Amino acid sequence: MGKLFGTDGIRGVSQRRTGRRPGLQGGPGRGPGPGQGKKPGEKPLVTIGKDTRISGDLLKGSLIAGLCTAGADVLDLGTLPTPGVAWVTVDEKADAGIVISASHNPFEHNGIKIFNGQGYKLSDELEEKIEDVVLFGHNDVGRKTGGDIGKVSYVPRRPSWTTSTTWSPPSPATGRSAHPGGLCQRGSYTTAARLFDRFPKLQTDVINADPDGVNINDKCGSTHIDSLAAMVKAGGYDIGIAFDGDADRCLAVDENGVLIDGDQIMAACGLDRKG
């Protein structure tokens, strides 16, 4: 466990942390990592996505400022689940990816997750180097000027970003169209809805798709599954799916509203891959 990085990035109550250390969010952008291995004059590319928390734009703006000041270009992905940011980072051949989210935590919390160019979490050693930049100013890459500063791109999402890695669901044993009651958590609702709408035989009803910046994880998502279970059971659905705030994990309920936990989901995925 590092000074800033925990088990899954940097997390805390957003304004409390930024009020104490204004340079925190920009600091990771000025540290080592994205620019390593680049040729002279070649700018690294970093993707950034976020969930729907009200503090997300504030943190994103600070991070983009830090990255561009350090000479990195930024691809702003807007609101996108954590796995989506990792996938786009690899697909776009970016040097790093950043997610602004505090997962299942209340809205006043926020965090920064960083991926390498292969879409994986950073090593402990690299996280320590970033902490040294943020906390002590060690090995800061400096501030670029003129044409050396980075720029920001806002590229429309390609259809492949949300559809190419999904599976085609089998027809339900009942012979009727499947009705997964997708509790598409307020942090990931748009991507989840597009994914399920891709399948013509799959009728999806979405709930808790009304993000307002402060209602993420409020009585919904993978930590509050009771409402989904009741909906599935009362409505005669085949399955219900609940995502956490940044949709890097989910739980499910069966047609009787009974919880399908992570171990069961992993076992099913393993059996499917085994063929």
What is the average pLDDT score of the chain? 81
Residue 150 C-beta-side C-alpha neighbours within 13 Å: 28
**What's the mean pLDDT in 108-121?**
94
**How far is the C-alpha of 173 from the C-alpha of 176, rounded, in Å?**
8
CA–centroid distance for 182 within its chain: 18
- The pair of structure tokens assigned to 173 is 């044993």
Q: Has 171 been annotated as catalytic? A: no
Q: Is pLDDT at 3 greater than 80 in this prediction?
A: no
How many other β-carbons are positioned within 10 Å of the β-carbon of residue 125?
A: 8
- Bridge partners, 75 (sequence order): 47, 153
pLDDT (0 to 100) of residue 158 = 57
Q: Is pLDDT at 176 greater than 50 in this prediction?
A: no
Considering the candidates 55, 62, 103, 188, report the single residue annotated as catalytic: 103
**What's the mean pLDDT in 85-91?**
94
The answer to whether the CB of 98 falls within 8 A of the CB of 116 is: no
**What's the mean pLDDT in 132-139?**
79
pLDDT tens for 235-275 read 999 999 988 888 888 899 999 999 999 899 999 999 999 87
Between CA 199 and CA 78, with CA 154 as vertex, the angle to 5 degrees is 60
Spatial CB neighbours of 71, under 8 Å, sequence gap ≥ 6: 35, 43, 44, 141, 144, 148, 149, 150
**What's the mean pLDDT in 196-200?**
82
The pLDDT-based confidence of 187 (bands split at 50, 70, 90) is: low
pLDDT (0 to 100) of residue 174 = 40
